[in-house]
């Protein structure tokens, strides 16, 4: 058997960079090594999926339609849909396996099924800026939603089309407002972090290496509590 039947595993949530300094040295080293191993194995899963799809396409060209269905059932006990998932992904991402290798296999299947112009734009953005998985998922979801709405809109009355236009305009304004708020929050956090860094460097000067080493051994959450608590800088000065 070449590989398992395609499934739709839960999409991993993308989180901020993990703070390995909060873990004891040996444990941090093991965790980092495990992360690298898992990432490499995951990437090879996507690449293998596309290779399987390419092989299926080759055999499909050689066999009659009925023969191909019998062949995949006898050799792998797969459904026709499973084989189609492999082949559709292989067609969509021919020569691009490394580009999409970080995505969950289920996302690769979904991305392969959306309109080609949208898919190609996503691939270009991945190559340029390495889109987070949740961004790719959102683009796929919107593409599927727009396709569904376009089919439904073909049968809408003028009143329904007007209501839909108003709804989309409202959603666009709300989305822009959320983005503006998020950008303002990010700008404020950046300014605060920058000011804090300047203040710390000015205060500690030549002692900065020792401070950075101490921070690496602590956790930011605990550090904040100590700085604000009675045993922090206030207690030390009293």
pLDDT tens string 25-84: 787 777 777 777 766 766 688 888 898 899 999 999 988 888 888 888 888 888 899 999
| pTM of the complete model | 0.51
* Higher pLDDT among residues 215 and 201, named by residue: 201
- The total of other beta-carbon atoms located within 10 Å of residue 89's CB is 26
Show the tokens assigned to 212.
């950075």
CA within 13 Å, CB half, 116:
4
The single residue listed with the structure tokens 């995949």 is: 72
Separation between Cα atoms, residue 231 and residue 226, nearest integer Å: 6
pLDDT tens string 111-132: 999 888 888 888 888 888 877 8
The angle formed by the CA atoms of residues 147, 51 and 139, to the nearest 5 degrees, is 25
Residue 44: CB partners within 8 Å, gap ≥ 6? Answer: 101
Q: Pick from 133, 128, 136, 108: which is nearest to 47 by CA? A: 108
């Amino acid at each position: 058997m070449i590989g398992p039947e395609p499934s739709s595993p839960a999409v991993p949530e993308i989180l901020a960079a993990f703070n390995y300094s909060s873990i004891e040295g040996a444990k941090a080293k093991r965790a980092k090594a495990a992360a690298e191993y898992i990432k490499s194995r995951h990437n090879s899963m996507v690449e293998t999926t596309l290779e399987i799809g390419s092989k299926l396409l080759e055999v499909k060209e050689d066999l009659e339609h009925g023969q191909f269905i019998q062949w995949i059932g006898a050799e792998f006990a797969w459904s026709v849909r499973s084989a189609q998932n492999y082949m559709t992904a292989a067609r969509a991402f021919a020569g691009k396996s490394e580009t999409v290798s970080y995505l969950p296999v289920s996302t690769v299947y979904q991305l392969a099924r959306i309109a080609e112009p949208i898919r190609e734009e996503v691939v270009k953005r991945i190559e340029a800026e390495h889109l987070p998985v949740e961004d790719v998922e959102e683009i796929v979801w919107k593409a599927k939603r727009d396709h569904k709405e376009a089919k439904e809109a073909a049968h809408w009355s003028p009143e329904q089309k007007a209501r839909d236009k108003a709804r989309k305009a409202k959603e666009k304004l709300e989305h822009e407002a959320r983005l503006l708020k998020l950008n303002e929050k990010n700008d404020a956090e950046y300014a605060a972090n920058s000011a804090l860094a300047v203040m710390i460097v000015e205060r500690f000067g030549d002692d900065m290496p020792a401070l950075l080493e101490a921070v690496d051994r602590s956790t930011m959450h605990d550090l904040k509590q100590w700085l604000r608590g009675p045993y922090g800088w206030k207690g030390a000065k009293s």
